[in-house]
Amino acid sequence: MGTDIKNTKQNILDTALKLFSKRGYSAVSIRDIGNIVGIKESTIYYHFKNKQDIFDELLKRFEKITNEKPIKFSKEFNKITKVEKEAFIQVGLGILKNYFLETEILQFIRMLMIEQHVNKAAADLYEQVIFEIPLKHNVSVFDALMKMNCFKNDDSNYMALEYYSPILFIFQRYFSSGEVTEDKLEIAEHELRIYLANFYDKYNIS
């Protein structure tokens, strides 16, 4: 596939994602996508069978991204031998700023939030990426931290839930809709930093 063709297909996907995340799948037409990309509807049909095909491609793309994130984290995590307080806080802030608020991922999440009510595939993926995958990943992290004698021995399932719930709450409260502004970011980071510091103090073995 030539570069121009690849770029056109990518532009279609990027534009569809942006529109779906704002209006929802049903409110967006092939013509809407074509108008913004600057191509004819027939060109879109060259790359995709229909609008559902575009949506399915986006779901696959998001699933791939969210499955790769924990793997990358684990490779870096396996290199550490201790966890300093500030480093622990930065990891938690990174979940908010570098995952939830990464532009493409935020658009994906907002799209799934809209479509989960009418599309089972979207609902299943939303459940996985917002709840199941992060909680499972955090359980493994806290199990490892306890084995390293960095954190007190406790129930890793409960710790994962206690750790992740405020991160998700802060995201939902400030960023699940509307613009991501510097004021919101400052407030969210301040609140999350306090929480993460308290969590660290509770479980860390000094």
pLDDT by residue (tens digit) across 82-109?
899 999 999 999 999 999 999 999 999 9
Helical H segments across the chain, by residue range:
3-23, 30-37, 41-47, 51-77, 85-94, 103-115, 120-127, 133-147, 156-175, 182-203
C-alpha 128/C-alpha 102 separation (Å) is: 18
HSE on the CB side for 64, CA within 13 Å?
7
Q: What is the pLDDT of residue 1?
A: 47
> How is the chain split into domains, by residue range?
1-48, 56-203
| Residue 204 bridge partners (DSSP) | 151
C-alpha 57/C-alpha 71 separation (Å) is: 22
Judge contact between 139 and 160, C-beta under 8 A: yes
Torsion, Cα of 10, 14, 20, 25 (10° steps): 0
Q: What is the pLDDT of residue 162?
A: 97
C-alpha 7/C-alpha 13 separation (Å) is: 10
Q: Which DSSP string do the residues of 48-87 spell out, in sequence order?
A: -SSHHHHHHHHHHHHHHHHHHHHHHHHHHHTT-S---HHH
Q: What is the pLDDT of residue 127?
A: 94
> Is 56-203 in the same CATH topology as 1-48?
no
Q: What is the pLDDT of residue 5?
A: 62
Q: What residues in the chain have per-residue pLDDT under 70?
A: 1-6
The count of other CB atoms within 10 Å of the CB of residue 168 is 17
CATH code, residues 56-203:
1.10.357.10
CATH code, residues 1-48:
1.10.10.60
